[in-house]
A and B are shown apart, each in its own frame.
Chain A
Amino acid sequence: EPEVTQTPSHQVTQMGQEVILRCVPISNHLYFYWYRQILGQKVEFLVSFYNNEISEKSEIFDDQFSVERPDGSNFTLKIRSTKLEDSAMYFCASSEVQDRWSPLHFGNGTRLTVT
């Protein structure tokens, strides 16, 4: 069964550094998402992406964050200047179509640790 893949599984970075988290969505999916989960807290929506542009973003997704689909397969989340509070598990998800009941397919996540 096709899966969403994320790399790396764990990223450690110093405060102020830029990080890029990578995702390969399922190949025939059209809608892409980033979520994050700070340890012990809920899974929070960051951004959705469709047709090469952001569809919706949360208040968390400020100017420090950006997303890109640089080629036909990758979907990246960039954090420009990381802060300690960016430490979290970041999940990429994709869905095939945007009908009401189309499920999200999640990757395994990237654990980002900012020191």
Chain B
Amino acid sequence: DAKTTQPTSMDCAEGRAANLPCNHSTISGNEYVYWYRQIHSQGPQYIIHGLKNNETNEMASLIITEDRKSSTLILPHATLRDTAVYYCIVRDDIYNFNKFYFGSGTKLNVKP
């Protein structure tokens, strides 16, 4: 039941910022936006999440548009180890607590 649309793949030069977009035009008022990434043959890794305010942590920044219909994950200085599939997920934290429905994600290729 993925409610997000992401580009299939993106390239980024090492050391540059990686900006990964996500469309979630049908998001409802109590749904959060979560970002996870999956490095090949590993379990997904939590990155960041937010409701309507922009968020920043040690890994990334999350920019959510004012109408909340889209968001952008920013990796400020991409490294080769950031090559992974990045998943944007919207989730109702009240009624579907902890359930994540994954879409197809964006394969980010960080190149030297």
B is a partner of A: no
Binding site for A on B (CB under 8 A): none
Binding site for B on A (CB under 8 A): none
